Structure 1
């Protein structure tokens, strides 16, 4: 039963992340009147397809990606064997995302239209991340505040802090919600910080406050803080602030991981591919649907950020090419683009193979 739930949850996570990304490209292309030959979810053999308004919608066997095929409409030949002139574009509708294709080729669109189409894939991943986090916040039984309720056993911060203190800053970082506080205690080790608190009506600056992680009976770290906070009212303002704070927290963690990888602080063996993601989904299923949604939010934000990095063959590199063309009026030479994108594709495939091998070794 767990295997079935893991399979369904994995399919939901992968499909959602891929679908919204490709849907972003698709809707942006439709908005610009660019013809989409095929909108596909997955790679490999086609499992299902249908054609509507000149676009083929398909689902393929391997749900590890997807694509929009921007290609010219097929030429129609008349009885004399000569190609007929292309049909006149249909009138544009005033809706935000018109369903009527005007037939413009992707290559014939302006640089900024192509920039918009390329950018919208990552933007849709970010929107999905916000939506999922909003659901998580709305379904929380309690939303944590920044006011200390009580201290854990053997807490060291109680020497300087008091119950009822409202934490305003930690090391000059503003603390609006609980996530601002927990973000400072991610190491799981004893930490010393300068803290600004509101005690009654007085603002106090406390120097060198030491915090000890809270542990269970077996000595495992439960959370990095040695105190608990009071719940706050779950009104619209706090829900929005908490959602934004969680989004910033996830984004900061993802960017931090990328920077650590580039700086050599972590190795490639720490990365996870599709197999590692399925393993993470399996663990999340054991904890419940909230953990699955948290993983979905993390993955979709991760995909959005990763695609915007200026790495050859990814959307981020394409955006640089298109921005150059839009600003200068001259495209980057196709040969240069081809060499850069080919090198990037080879590097990404090599990285995917390496990460997959590490994933397999973890299961053996």
Structure 2
């Protein structure tokens, strides 16, 4: 169980880190201030500030986020009446605003706020030392920081470094970058899996090997032979061969094959073999494999496409056949899946990580407000109407989308607990 928990935290952490780094990297490139990059949720356990961004690790390893200037609501920290402590530079500009009771500025200026504008005018006004006869106004440095109530120090968010100040293409790329990174991670992990395999199945109709003294060997088949027909069925792939032989244990089958450009005929009687509760026919042949790097990379690409196709098929089924909570899975389902993947070793964990990553990327692109797909949809609408969507409208849509997601998360989590832990 401990190994499963550790694996779950690592897998979930990698998914979140890669996703959020996509948003972070392209926001930075666009000149958007990333106020905080957090791994985990809840109370912080560690933080450090560098190059204008505060990096935090929080206690719950479930999720993470980047706070982009102009997309968070931190002005509530400085409502009128809020007591703060100011730190100023030699020019008299405020360089730090302490709004936390957890941190103390020994040489700070105590101020009870009357008004503040940290976006345009960059000023803060209030009663110094609780002297309510005089309102003092201080200019605020463009790169000043604020210590929030939980003790985290982040940059203020002037208008010129806010998300909406970036160009529309830059904002769209920032929104898309999270899912894009998940796709890249998934593809890379599938390729890595290709390099862990002893050989890459080609799914061709060429025999990669024939077991000694097997049915196939006694029928004259050897490695390199190309099977073109089994009984009355033409075959061109390994799947075709398997589907022609497996359902016929004990039945005599005619086989046509090619060797050195010549066509030959023989017969085989598949040996009845138990596989679980089924009896299948086997003749002792192995699929052809390739071992070169190109084949391994192609294997990763094929697995990536197959995984994506499967996820789209599931989403399409949900749309056409009705929605069910059993079609969805939250952190509890991921934990249960992690347990199964861990039992399969490192390859099982890698395959699980790759599937989760592409799943996360695709689901995040669903055009629901509060998801990256919803944000991209609003960007597209903005490009069509050639003007920004009103902040109130966007705020209401995002709030509604967030509420729907939270309700859905609670229902999915409850359903997952019922499915996996309550019998």
The TM-score, its normalising length taken from structure 1, stands at 0.74
Partner of 2:168: 111
Residue 18 (str. 1) matches residue 29 (str. 2):
no
The answer for the alignment partner of 1:241 in structure 2 is 298
- Corresponding residue of 1:49: 47
2:66 is equivalent to residue 4 of structure 1: no
**Displacement of 1:147 after TM fit?**
2.4
Q: CA 1:276/1:236 → structure 2, altered by over 3 Å: closer, same or farther? A: same
Distance 1:166 1:66, change over 3 A: farther
C-alpha separation between the residues in 1 aligned to 2:283 and 2:66? Answer: 50
Distance 1:291 1:228, change over 3 A: farther
Q: Which residue of 1 aligns with 2:60?
A: 62
Aligned residues: 313
Q: Which runs of 5+ in 2 are unaligned?
A: 71-94, 98-117, 126-135, 144-156, 215-224, 230-235, 249-255, 262-271
Give the one of 398, 401, 409 matched to 1:344: 401
Which residue number corresponds to residue 255 of structure 1?
312
Note if 1:130 corresponds to 2:187. yes
More helix by share: 1
Paired residues for 1:206-355 under 5 Å? 216-219=274-277, 230-264=287-321, 267-355=324-412
What CA deviation, in whole Å up to 9, does each residue of 1:229-267 have, x standing for no partner?
523222232122211101001101111111112222662
Query: Counterpart in 1 of 2:139?
Result: 83
Secondary structure, aligned partner of 2:370: coil
1: CA distance, partners of 2:227 / 2:367: 44
Structure 2 vs 1, CA of residues 220 and 248 (structure 1 numbering), >3 Å: closer, same or farther?
Answer: farther
Unaligned runs of 5+ in 1: 88-100, 154-162, 168-173, 191-196, 203-213
Task: Note the alpha carbon deviations across 1:273-296, whole angstroms, 9 max, x for none.
Answer: 111111111111111110011000
Please state which structure has a larger fraction of its residues in strand.
Answer: 2
Q: Which one of the candidate residues 165, 172, 175 is aligned to 2:227?
A: 165
Give the Cα–Cα distance (whole angstroms) in 1 for the partners of residues 391 and 283 of structure 2.
58
Cα shift at 1:228: 6.7
- In 1, are the aligned partners of 2:32 and 2:69 still within 8 Å (CA)? no
Task: Classify 1:264/1:45 alpha carbon distance in 2 versus 1 (closer, same or farther; 3 Å).
Answer: same
TM-score by length of 2: 0.64
**1:58-116: CA deviation from partner (whole Å, max 9, x where unpaired):** 011122211111126984669973324637xxxxxxxxxxxxx9972212111111111
**Secondary structure in structure 1 of the residue aligned to 2:139:** coil
